[in-house]
Amino acid sequence: MKIYVINPGHILKYLALLLLVALLISAVSITGMDVLGVFSPGKELPINYVETGEKIAAITFDCAWGADDIPQILDVLKSRNVKASFFIIGQWAQKYPDKVRMIAAEGHDVANHSYSHLRMGALDQARIAGEIKLCGEKLEELSGQKIELFRPPYGDYSNNVVSAARKLGYYTIQWNVDGIDIKVKRL
C-alpha cells in the first residue's frame, strides 16, 4: 500500500490553473473566439509593416465608392513626388476604367481589393479565390500592370483569405495606422 503526501500549496496552484482553464473555455464558448487560431503556429497573417533602415510610410487608398476625388488626389501626390498604392475593387474598376488607367499612368501601384467588396472572412476559400481572381484580371487588363497586392475589404481576413491570396500570387496587405484617425498637418 502506498500513501501519497500532498503539499497543500500545490493543491491551490492546481485548482487555480483548473479554474483559469475553465474560465477560458467558458469565454471561448460564449464569445465564439477562435482561441486555437490565435495560438496556432499556422496562423496566416497579412503584412502590415516592413522593416526598413529608413523612416518611410506607405500610403494606400481604397477605391470602392466614388471617383470624383481621384484627379485631385493624384495631383497632390504628384506635386509632392509621392507614390501610393490604390486598392481597387473590381466593380469600381468596371465603373471607372479611366480612373484605373489614370492611376497606373501616374506610376502608382494598382492593387486588388476584391471584386465585390464582401466580408472575405465569412466566405469559403473557393469564393474568396474567385473574388480575388476576377478583380485581378480586370485590374491587369485596365492598368497593364501585374497585380501583386491584395487588401481584404473591411480588414476582414482569416487563414482562408490569406492562404487563397497567396496561392494566387498575392501578398495580403493590412494597414497599421488608420488614416481616418489621423489629423493631417499642412506641409
Number of residues that make up the chain: 187
Q: Which three cell numbers stand for residue 4?
A: 501519497
Give the C-alpha separation, 109 to 85, whole Å: 4
Q: Which three cell numbers stand for residue 125?
A: 476559400
pTM: 0.74
CB 124 within 8 A of CB 141: no
Q: Which three cell numbers stand for residue 69?
A: 476625388
What fold, for 60-181?
TIM Barrel (3.20.20)
**Residue range 6-26, pLDDT digits in tens:** 555 555 555 444 444 445 455
Give the C-alpha separation, 157 to 24, whole Å: 24
pLDDT at res. 49: 82
Q: Where are the domains of the chain?
A: 8-39, 60-181
